Structure 1
């Protein structure tokens, strides 16, 4: 059976695409931390390779064991953290919640004198950490540098 392919505007399949509909869709969405985090990554004092690493980290594009298992490069049994803690090795686990590697953040927070950041995701952690300096732009920039150099 042959059928013709066709484009369909998902937000309003009946009426199709309209400029007004696209505008309403874009203006009705709450800005996400994705955009905010990606804007914060590109800091002028951070080497490009560090910024690219952070960009890949926040997009979950690093070769963690979970990602390698998903791509069929490693077997399902090989997805445990390299620290030996027994947890599944994801970017979130390695950089935030691992008892071995994630403990760096407690040391960084005590060094700069800030209270804990509750990370729901790596993006949230980055944005919350950066904005924990209240409204001072210079302090935010400094915290950006600390976060980017700590990952």
Structure 2
């Protein structure tokens, strides 16, 4: 049984759950049995990297290490096939049919793939990755980590709600209205969901069409989220408030700069520093 590509721990193979690590590792064909020769405290060393990991990739590695610490391998027990939906009763056609008609197509991995867009800077993609995984330093997250006290949960727009990523980017009366302006600018209609991952997927496919249209919508969503986060930081740390219509203008300009950067147009330096 392969360590990364087979499902032997958790709900999915490690190459799916930790897709980024799987792309960067050199020893993709390692077997679970190979772990028997490694001390459990050193299981994080089974990865050999093509390059040095970035900080957010180190966080993924720590998450994988924590998962492996709870595993105990016994060399005297042979592997066997188990039907996971019913380990005691085993496989039946009726059970397989019930499983197929009750499944919901997974979207968690697809939305994380969408954050990597060739027309946006890497830091914007990393920001979106952290946003979808709820890793941004919002006030609710900082309170959960005991960085802030519970009485500091209100967000910068003073709307009376705790500043979570879900509220800040989707439900806030101030920043949430930006999505309506963006849709009016593009000329499309839709009903927003209050789940960030689903919102990203829904927005990307809002106007249908081919890959070029989906790529454009994907780009706009990433830039809109990036502008919201920067405006939030400006209001919190610099006490500078930009009107929402001006934020829409910034998204339009950033989308132009992103496309020009892809085509290697020469732009004034003042345009480039907007990133």
Tell me the TM-score normalized by structure 1. Answer: 0.81
Q: CA deviation at 1:118?
A: 2.2
Q: Which runs of 5+ in 2 are unaligned?
A: 1-69, 85-90, 92-98, 226-275
Aligned partners of 1:80 and 1:87 also within 8 Å: yes
The answer to whether residue 136 in structure 2 is matched with residue 62 in structure 1 is yes
Quote the residue 2:153 is aligned against.
79
Residue 32 of structure 1, aligned match among 70, 81, 106: 106
Corresponding residue of 1:134: 208
- Counterpart CA distance in 2 for 1:78 and 1:52 is 27
**Cα distance change, pair 111–18 in 1 and its aligned pair in 2 (3 A):** farther
- 2-side partners of 1:17 and 1:35: how far apart? 29
Q: What is the CA-CA distance between 1:31 and the residue it aligns to?
A: 3.7
CA contact (8 A) 1:130 1:147 kept: yes
Q: How many residues end up aligned between the 2 structures?
A: 138
Distance of aligned partners of 1:19 and 1:50 in 2 relative to their CA distance in 1, 3 Å threshold: farther
On the 8 A contact 1:41/1:148 being kept in 2, the answer is yes
Partner of 1:51: 125
Name the residue aligned to 2:115.
41
Determine if contact 1:95/1:101 at 8 Å carries over to the other structure: yes
Q: State TM-score, norm by structure 2.
A: 0.46
Do the aligned partners of 1:117 and 1:125 also contact (CA within 8 Å) in 2? no
Instruction: Write out the 4+ residue segments of structure 1 that deviate beyond 3 Å after TM superposition.
Output: 5-8, 16-22, 27-31
The range that moved more, 73-82 or 51-60, is 73-82
What runs of 5+ residues in structure 1 fail to find an aligned partner?
9-15
Q: Which residue of 1 aligns with 2:163?
A: 89
- Report which of the two structures shows the higher radius of gyration computed on alpha carbons: 2
Q: 2:187 aligns with which of 113, 122, 127?
A: 113
